[in-house]
Amino acid sequence: MRHTLPLVPQFYVTAPQPCPYLDGRVERKLFTALQGDHAIKLNDALSKQGFRRSQNVLYRPSCVDCTSCYSARIRVADFKPSRSQRRILRRNDHLTREASTPWATEDQYQLFRSYLSARHSDGGMADMDIFEFAAMIEETPVRSRVVEYYRDADTGSGRRELSAVCLTDVLEDGLSLVYSFFEPESQANSPGTFIILDHIEIARAAGLPYVYLGYWVPGSRKMGYKANYHAVEVFSRGAWRDIGPIKENPDRLDPLASEPISEQVSKILLPDIAT
């Protein structure tokens, strides 16, 4: 006889620390380990409930008096690029895409260092060495890909140079952009936007309905841009909702806005595992 039993991971909460996105706010995360035979099923299930992956951990904001972080995803079937986004696609049509298993290379790390030095020199990753970088890329218990974008070298030698990289998880219902970086010199071509637009096309070709973008944080220079895409929805109050109405009044700062941790955990839907 076969029985269906729930997968029961343990959930934890980080200690409060300064919010990296909004000045004067305090951040706290709810998280669980992503490991074992059922890691893929757990990642799929929790990604649908606003969680994100970082190596072998799944996390979701759980701040005490602030609910200004929203997990965002694009509905691929409904997406239509804007005029400016179509221009970005044309400006980057010289790039060649290659996808491979998650394996860190020296070229990736050098590009990563250049990107951080130019854009995030004071961020939490600024001191990451090559071993930590390799762990970020390679320590994945789920189905992941490294999507690389190459351009022809300017020397006329026919040699290619790495221009952009995105670590991408393949979920049962979409693609999740875990982390991306690119040549600082290509900033005028909006490579970050191009990576998202290209992943929408990858998902469309694969028949996947969503592209998960990470967290939309209105009011944050780093994280507010995700509202600029058509057909975006965000995870709010336990369900995915169109971003339109939420953009009207996105910033929620209220001592009663966040449910107690026990209530949050009790509402998480876990996958059933046949034994």
Q: Would you say residue 204 lies in a domain?
A: yes
What is the widest separation between alpha-carbon atoms in the chain? Answer: 67
Q: Would you say residue 201 lies in a domain?
A: yes
pLDDT tens digits, one per residue of 139-181: 999 999 999 999 987 756 668 999 999 999 999 999 999 999 9
Q: Would you say residue 34 lies in a domain?
A: no
Q: Which domain holds residue 143?
A: 75-213
Kindly state the average pLDDT of the residues 120-129.
74
Confidence of residue 253 (pLDDT cuts 50, 70, 90): low
What's the start-to-end Cα distance of the chain, in Å? 9
Q: Would you say residue 237 lies in a domain?
A: no
Q: Would you say residue 273 lies in a domain?
A: no
CA pair distance 29, 39, nearest whole angstrom:
20
53 forms beta bridges with: 58
Q: Would you say residue 59 lies in a domain?
A: no
- CA dihedral for 228, 229, 230, 235, sign (positive or negative): negative
Confidence of residue 106 (pLDDT cuts 50, 70, 90): very high
247 has pLDDT over 80: no
Q: What is the CATH number of the domain that holds 206?
A: 3.40.630.30
Q: Would you say residue 165 lies in a domain?
A: yes
Number of neighbouring beta carbons within 10 Å of residue 244? 10
Query: Which residue from 272, 210, 249 is spatially nearest to 71, judged by alpha carbons?
Result: 210
pLDDT tens digits, one per residue of 22-45: 888 899 999 999 988 899 999 999
Q: Please report the pLDDT score of residue 4 as a whole number.
A: 46
94 has pLDDT over 50: yes
With the CA atoms of 33, 38, 105 and 193 taken in that order, what torsion angle do they form, in degrees rounded to the nearest 10?
-80
Instruction: State the total domains in the chain.
Output: 1
Q: Would you say residue 175 lies in a domain?
A: yes
